[in-house]
Structure 1
């Protein structure tokens, strides 16, 4: 368990760039470096996370931990990856964040945003080679990226994933190496029951003003309803808990959540601490647990049988279509928001190209790249 926790803790300290970058970091570490799972298993987990509400990249990390060490491993992965951003946002909620205005610190963060461009570009290229070998898959990838760049919305994402799944079922099944046997599928209805109980209870708890229960209920509802994770959580959080904090504090928390590594969903940490000022740590813990738990419960419903489900010919074809669309999602995210919020000058672009070249040729440990980009960002900020 310590190995799982420590690996995810290290990633939680450096994973800037949002869900797309996190998927790239996870692939670099757990597929290429540690071989905890292969490309096919990883692609299946990523595809499953796209269909479940909740924090997409954290669900992928949760599933990797589960694959390596069962439920205890999944919890260790979640705690390790989330702890750094939880502590930082809690401290920001109860103290001042003025140190972020220091040029060297801001420069280091900017350098890490450039690293996110490199990591997402590498993940997109690698997953393209893995999942887009057929022309139909390549067309699905390009169509997905085009739609999300032209009409960026949650609805667009859900529609293109659904269409890709249907096309995959119809076109991409034939010729795939799929076992003709029908594997046994057994869903875990206990976890589904817990999810439903939590969702029903959340509506009662959310109507109890000025209570910890209200915090749990409102954040649980958000975690149950948001698809896509990342920045998609913002409008739902604003609609559900926006009246409990000032708009200025809400936007401050959102800005800070973007500036630090780790999952965007830990914005709940900042808001929970700010809402429950009688005991900020309690408020932060309740809000954070409530927003993450629904997505994890739903992952546990089908995670054990997901490999068996994905071996059925029709499902496998649909999965191939979704995997192609996921590559398109990564390609669109590579441009917006990863590239557009990271690369601000020709010098930035030069650093990205050098970093990408170093990654592909020298294949250094990700920690060395983090140190290099942080130092480069700080140095550039001093010019």
Structure 2
């Protein structure tokens, strides 16, 4: 087989970044069709191993699978180009939305924003319902999910979400080990281990050290009041390091860090999140939108780039550090069990977000009916972008006659 060029990796992922609508589950199908069925870069078993590894790591699953494919084919530069190709289209589009929004935001009516808020509520509610069925299958998981929701809604602490994640991991280790459904066969030696040089395997632990260091550095910088830069960068980095289960889970973290602190208005936040649903590629490019609105530097485009890097850097560090130890990680039952507990807790975080949004956005019965209609459309086979745009136009039309 001829040597694979870097530009080939970039262009294939760029194509996917322009066309891969539908969220992480759809992205993984696109990846399988492209890299397994069409290009034969991997076989089915190898691809399944990459997906399994990405699922036990925090962060955006589909993006991590993509950069892992690039890493396996052409090392660190291959990973960077794979990520850049897949992320660039949505990051640029979300940055443009932010810049245009700053110009036209004052011209938009309250009815416009109310429609956007109701659509975001519907999307988050639908995501919660899907994740509830996927991640809560045992009684203890439902209880943990509800307790997580109650804690977030009643206890006001700067680190309350991190506390929930940590406790959920411990409870997962305790409860899930008794559940035979979480047991998996021992991972066999695979290309994930064999295809990596002994040098990379021996140095892989250094990536984990680099991954952990910011959790000690940024709190010190914030305590010293170095500036808003460290605060914003730390927020994106921490969010990506703690998010399990998909891009929707980052919403409560970012809302707490940027809306609750007054760095961005709730209306702008919801507008950006609604547009993020319409974009191809990773939902994590929502960070590009927020970054463009942050006072990091005098250049909004540079701010968007900084925020995008901050939210994806943990994925690089985790993939580089974990791929050489794939067999070891997949054979550690307590890691899988901790993830089971964390997944149940993050569903609770999403439910708390739904409750808070509903309290602010539902002001009359017609609002509740509209949210139900949007959810019904999301359950159909219609493309997400068509469902959301169609429902928005329909709601605006109804409001014009009221």
Please indicate the TM-score interval, normalised by the length of the shorter structure.
0.5 to 0.7
Q: CA deviation at 1:369?
A: 0.6
| TM-score, normalisation: structure 1 | 0.67
Structure 2 gap ranges (5+)? 1-12, 34-43, 72-78, 194-200, 244-249, 277-285
Q: Is the 8 A contact 2:288 2:305 kept in 1?
A: no
| TM-score, normalisation: structure 2 | 0.64
The residue aligned with 1:267 is: 290
Q: How does 1:2-17 map to 2 (within 5 A)?
A: 2-7=14-19
* Distance in structure 2 (CA, Å) of the matches to 1:342 and 1:39: 41
The residue aligned with 2:340 is: 320
Match of 2:131 among 127, 132, 135: 127
The residue aligned with 1:82 is: 91
- Once the two structures are superposed, residues 264-312 of structure 1 have per-residue CA deviations (whole angstroms, 9 ceiling, x without a partner) of 5633222358x42xxx356435643554354344443445357862542
The alpha-carbon distance between structure 1 residues 336 and 44, as it changes in their structure 2 partners (threshold 3 A), is farther
The residue aligned with 1:162 is: 166
* Distance in structure 2 (CA, Å) of the matches to 1:111 and 1:33: 31
Q: CA deviation at 1:347?
A: 0.8
Structure 1 gap ranges (5+)? 12-24, 50-55, 207-213
The residue aligned with 1:351 is: 370
- Once the two structures are superposed, residues 1-56 of structure 1 have per-residue CA deviations (whole angstroms, 9 ceiling, x without a partner) of 13421145x57xxxxxxxxxxxxx544x446898789999989757633xxxxxx6
The alpha-carbon distance between structure 1 residues 272 and 160, as it changes in their structure 2 partners (threshold 3 A), is closer
The alpha-carbon distance between structure 1 residues 39 and 152, as it changes in their structure 2 partners (threshold 3 A), is farther
* Distance in structure 2 (CA, Å) of the matches to 1:198 and 1:166: 23
Q: Is the 8 A contact 1:265 1:291 kept in 2?
A: no
Q: CA deviation at 1:350?
A: 0.6
* Distance in structure 2 (CA, Å) of the matches to 1:235 and 1:144: 16
The residue aligned with 1:210 is: none
Q: Is the 8 A contact 1:115 1:369 kept in 2?
A: no
The alpha-carbon distance between structure 1 residues 344 and 318, as it changes in their structure 2 partners (threshold 3 A), is same
Match of 1:99 among 107, 111, 114: 107
Match of 1:336 among 349, 356, 360: 356
- Once the two structures are superposed, residues 239-268 of structure 1 have per-residue CA deviations (whole angstroms, 9 ceiling, x without a partner) of xxx9xxxx9xx556x753442233256332
The alpha-carbon distance between structure 1 residues 265 and 4, as it changes in their structure 2 partners (threshold 3 A), is same
Q: CA deviation at 1:379?
A: 1.4
* Distance in structure 2 (CA, Å) of the matches to 1:41 and 1:123: 24
The residue aligned with 1:179 is: 184
Q: RMSD value over aligned CA atoms?
A: 4.5
* Distance in structure 2 (CA, Å) of the matches to 1:44 and 1:127: 19
* Distance in structure 2 (CA, Å) of the matches to 1:196 and 1:258: 31
* Distance in structure 2 (CA, Å) of the matches to 1:302 and 1:370: 39
